A and B are shown apart, each in its own frame.
Chain A
Amino acid sequence: MSNSVLWYATRGAGAVTLILLTAVVVLGILTALRVEGRGWPRFLVTGLHRNLALMTLVFLALHIVTAVVDPYTNLGWASALIPFSSYYRTFWLGLGVISFELLLAIVVTSLLRGYLGHNTWRVIHWLTYAAWPIGVIHGLGTGTDAWSAWMLAITGGCIAAVVIALLWRLAAGSRDPLSSERSTFRAAVDRREAR
């Protein structure tokens, strides 16, 4: 009985982690796009991005701990920390471990951003674009519920959300992010010279 409770917890926490992580990624992309509007200031987006990222780690920890302590799987702590060391579904679990460790690196470096400097932090933060898809593949590959209709809907929705946000960003990305500022500046200079 308690075993299956743990197993349900693992699966539930895994699904929640996927949803939260997707929200974090989408919000991160929105930060870069500088989306804002009335009643939707940008610090709301950055604040949500950060807090949801921390929450993601909590659920991810729950997902991993319940999987490890579950006597049925008998995974052991090593397989939770060393990629591809688990006897059980070696490849798919290994992907999960890698995704987890990338996320950990991203969060830790973000918390230490002030000490690392902006450029180092930024380079490491690009790992997000590896951690998220690896996590999704891990879920599709080994998720007990992966091919049930509701889990497919969740996974599909998550993939769609990130793809849309990414396309939006790519469409907007080629523009100079400061173009409007620059043109107002240039206009102001011209006005001065005309005087």
Chain B
Amino acid sequence: MSDERHLVVDRIKCDGRGLCAEILPELIRLDDWGYPILKPGPIPEHLRPLAERAIDDCPVLAIAMRRAEKRS
């Protein structure tokens, strides 16, 4: 699929508030210090709206969606 997307976190910007994990626990859990750990792999279609919400709600704009790079 050409439209696959992944979540990425900017580890420098992220200040570990964990809002994203509250919204999207299916793909994001938090480590012991409140920083996100992303589930690898593309974002399932039905979670796309929640992923967008998580991105919008991050207080420091540290999380984003990227189109999957083509791997050969």
Q: Which residues from chain A sit less than 8 Å from chain B, CB to CB? A: 31, 34, 41-43, 46-47, 113-114, 117-118, 177-178, 181, 184-185, 188
B contact residues, total (Cβ < 8 Å): 17
A42 touches B22 (CB 8 A): yes
Given the known interface contacts A43-B19, A43-B23, the answer about A185 and B33 at a Cβ–Cβ threshold of 8 Å is yes
When distances are taken between beta carbons in the complex, the residues of chain A under 8 Å from B15 are 177-178
Q: Which residues from chain B sit less than 8 Å from chain A, CB to CB? A: 13, 15-17, 19, 22-23, 32-34, 53, 55-57, 59-61
Nearest-CB distance from B44 to chain A (Å)? 20
B16 touches A46 (CB 8 A): no
B34 touches A181 (CB 8 A): yes
A184 touches B33 (CB 8 A): yes
B60 touches A118 (CB 8 A): yes
When distances are taken between beta carbons in the complex, the residues of chain A under 8 Å from B34 are 181
B22 touches A118 (CB 8 A): no
Number of residue pairs across A and B with beta carbons under 8 Å?
34
B32 touches A184 (CB 8 A): yes
A31 touches B22 (CB 8 A): no
Nearest to B24 among chain A residues (CB) is A43
A188 touches B13 (CB 8 A): no
Nearest-CB distance from A56 to chain B (Å)? 18
Picked from A43, A117, A118, the residue with its CB within 8 Å of the CB of B57 is A43
A75 to B29, CA, bound (A): 55
A41 touches B61 (CB 8 A): no
When distances are taken between beta carbons in the complex, the residues of chain B under 8 Å from A117 are 61
When distances are taken between beta carbons in the complex, the residues of chain B under 8 Å from A46 are 19, 57, 59
Nearest-CB distance from A187 to chain B (Å)? 10
When distances are taken between beta carbons in the complex, the residues of chain B under 8 Å from A47 are 57
When distances are taken between beta carbons in the complex, the residues of chain A under 8 Å from B57 are 43, 46-47
A52 to B47, CA, bound (A): 25
A118 touches B61 (CB 8 A): yes
